[in-house]
C-alpha cells in the first residue's frame, strides 16, 4: 500500500475511533478558516502563505491559485463547514475540513487540511471546487 493510501486509511480509521477525537483541533481549524477567508477577501495572499505549513508556503503556485480564486469568486458571503477527518502524526494533529461556501459570484466547495501543533493551525492544503477557471491542474 502506498503512503497516500496508508495515510487516508489511517485518517478514516481515526475518525471512527473515540481516542482520536480532536475536538479542540477542530475549533482551532475553524478559527483558521475564518482568518483564511478574511485574508482572502482582503487579497492578503502572502499572509495566508506565511502562516501556512512550510511545504504549502514554498509552493509558489499557491499564491497564484489564491489570487485566481479571489478574483473569480469574489468575497466570501457565507461559509458552512464540518470536520471530516482528524488524526495525530507524531507531535502534530492533522484535520481535514470541508466547507460549502457562498462567494459573491459563485457557490463552491472548499477543502482545507491543517496541521495543528501547540494550539496553532498551519494550512497544509487548500482546494476550491466550483469556480470556473480555478483548478489545481
* Assigned domain for 110 exists: yes
**Contact yes or no for 103/124 (Cβ under 8 A):** no
**47-71: pLDDT as tens digits:** 999 999 999 999 989 999 999 999 9
Q: Could you tell me the CATH number of the domain that includes residue 55?
A: 3.10.450
How many domains, in total, are found in the chain?
Answer: 1
What's the CA gap between 61 and 72, in Å, rounded?
17
Which residues span the domain enclosing 35?
3-129
Condensed to tens digits (0 to 9), the pLDDT of residues 66-101 reads 999 999 999 999 999 988 888 888 889 999 999 999
137 within some domain? no
- Measured between alpha carbons, how far is 115 from 93 in angstroms, rounded to an integer? 6
In terms of residues, how long is the chain?
Answer: 137
Amino acid at each position: 500500500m502506498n503512503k497516500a493510501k496508508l495515510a487516508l486509511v489511517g485518517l478514516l480509521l481515526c475518525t471512527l475511533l473515540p481516542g482520536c477525537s480532536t475536538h479542540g483541533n477542530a475549533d482551532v481549524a475553524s478559527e483558521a478558516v475564518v482568518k483564511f477567508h478574511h485574508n482572502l477577501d482582503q487579497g492578503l495572499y502572502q499572509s495566508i502563505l506565511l502562516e501556512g505549513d512550510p511545504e504549502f508556503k514554498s509552493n509558489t503556485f499557491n499564491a497564484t491559485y489564491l489570487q485566481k480564486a479571489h478574483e473569480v469568486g469574489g468575497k466570501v458571503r457565507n461559509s458552512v463547514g464540518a470536520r471530516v477527518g482528524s488524526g495525530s502524526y507524531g507531535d502534530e494533529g492533522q484535520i481535514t475540513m470541508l466547507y460549502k461556501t457562498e462567494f459573491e459570484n459563485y457557490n463552491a466547495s472548499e477543502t482545507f487540511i491543517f496541521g495543528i501543533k501547540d494550539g496553532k493551525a498551519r494550512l497544509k492544503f487548500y482546494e476550491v471546487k466550483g469556480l470556473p477557471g480555478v483548478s489545481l491542474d
